[in-house]
Amino acid sequence: MHETAVLLIEVGALLLALSILGRIANKVGISPIPLYLAAGLLVGEGGLIPLEESRPFFEIGSEIGVVLLLCMLGLEYSPAELVKGLRQARVSGIWDALLNALPGAAFALIMGWGPIAAVAFAGITWVSSSGVVAKVLRDLKRLGNRETPTILSILVLEDLAMAFYLPIVSAIVIGEAVERAAVTVAIAVTAVFAILLVALRFGKTISRVFSIHHLESLLLGVLGLTMLVGGLSAELQVSTAVGAFLVGIAVTGQVAEEAVRVLAPLRDLFATVFFVYFGIVTAPAALVPVLLPATVLAVVTIGSKVLTGYLAARSAGVGVPGRWRAGFALTPRGEFSIVIAGLAASSLSRAGNPDLATYILSTTTAYVLITIIAGPLLARIPDFEWFKTAVRRRTERRSARAAA
């Protein structure tokens, strides 16, 4: 059969199956993300029906999915809201790093994997997945909630921190010279500030380039600018997510409102592809031996991330229910964790320790998979009546004690 025909059959059949899974998730009242991941596992490496010709499509589509998710998050907020949120979240960002990076480093050392793995696991457990969190917030209709700016500020701070962290960890794991690593970090930081400056100072000018009266032109223009800036950001060792988010921030007013409307179907399609591709590249057989340590690490760092979100939302003046929503929403880890693990595994393989490299990569994959499945489920807990009742009673008891 012709390659193009096979690709169309594979993509069409999988999208149809995903449509059915999405309807099931909607009827049950859960996020469809775990079902999309399960579908990816079935058609990925070692799955029951491994894909052949369509894998490159899902790989590229997953990158576009992250870009669109973060761009459209940015479209929901103004530059002033971004600056205010980043200022308020400075201290929370420090607590975020301490509470979530240290458990990862300690885990690697306890497992006896050495200092390179410890540096890598500090980043693996530190950074939440912007793509997954964005999807959860949208699915649960929380973009307008009081805690959402706090969540976004933490995500942006983490992604900005990656502009420093990734070049440094790359230099450590491959033994790069200090001078060269410093140059890489300097370029990344300069790029971040340049993109941020353009977004904040010239947002209205950028918005005037697009016309709300020509929706096709608006769609192509905003999508093209987002992908262009995302690609340039990645080339300069900056997170693609940061570039896409700042493009969304830069586009303001009625142009932003129309852009959300015309880009929404594309976002839904490619966001789904993003989650499916994560399952595709995961070999189920490799996860079994590492499930126990990965689960222990997930439990500890889910708890630390919930605490991070709770404290950050409290410092922003958000009520108790919103604090819990912020904490649970931040629990999924994702694309950055896999990238960091890949760097460490590559270094260990070159150093003549391929078995340890494979074990670290498998553990990280299982860990990320656990948090991505658990995160959307945990995020719904504050919406249950029993949880609301428990929070209300606890608040009343504390108020009574304070009055006494």
What confidence tens digit (pLDDT) does each residue in 50-65 have? Answer: 887 888 888 888 888 8
Q: CA 226, CA 209: separation in Å to the nearest integer?
A: 14
In a domain, 57, yes or no: yes
Q: What pLDDT score was predicted for residue 378? A: 92
Between 50 and 2, name the one with better pLDDT: 50
Instruction: Tell me the pLDDT tens digit for each residue of 362-390.
Output: 898 889 889 988 988 899 999 888 888 88
In a domain, 92, yes or no: yes
In a domain, 404, yes or no: no
Q: Is residue 398 scored above 70 in pLDDT?
A: yes
In a domain, 346, yes or no: yes
Q: What pLDDT score was predicted for residue 1? A: 56
Number of domains observed in the structure of the chain: 1
In a domain, 69, yes or no: yes
Q: Is residue 144 scored above 90 in pLDDT?
A: no
Q: What pLDDT score was predicted for residue 124? A: 92
- Biggest CA pair distance of the chain: 79
Q: CA 142, CA 76: separation in Å to the nearest integer?
A: 12
Q: At 316, which CATH number?
A: 1.20.1530.20
Q: What pLDDT score was predicted for residue 163? A: 64
CA distances from 201 to 84, 194, 196, 256 (A): 15, 10, 8, 16
Closest to 311 measured CA to CA, from 163, 151, 125, 72: 151
Instruction: Tell me the pLDDT tens digit for each residue of 64-121.
Output: 887 888 788 778 777 777 777 677 777 888 999 999 999 999 999 999 988 888 888 9
Q: CA 21, CA 35: separation in Å to the nearest integer?
A: 6
- Domain of residue 275 covers 3-398
Instruction: Tell me the pLDDT tens digit for each residue of 149-207.
Output: 889 889 888 877 776 776 667 666 655 555 666 676 677 677 777 777 777 777 778 88
In a domain, 403, yes or no: no
**65, 237 in Cβ contact below 8 A?**
no
Structure token pair of residue 242: 């940061």
> b/e per residue, 318-342, with b = 16+ CB within 10 A?
bebbbbbbbbbbbbbbbbbbbbbbb
Q: CA 35, CA 30: separation in Å to the nearest integer?
A: 10
In a domain, 344, yes or no: yes
Which distant-in-sequence residues (6+ apart) come within 8 Å of 305 by Cβ?
99, 100, 128, 327, 330, 331
Flag whether the pTM goes above 0.85. no
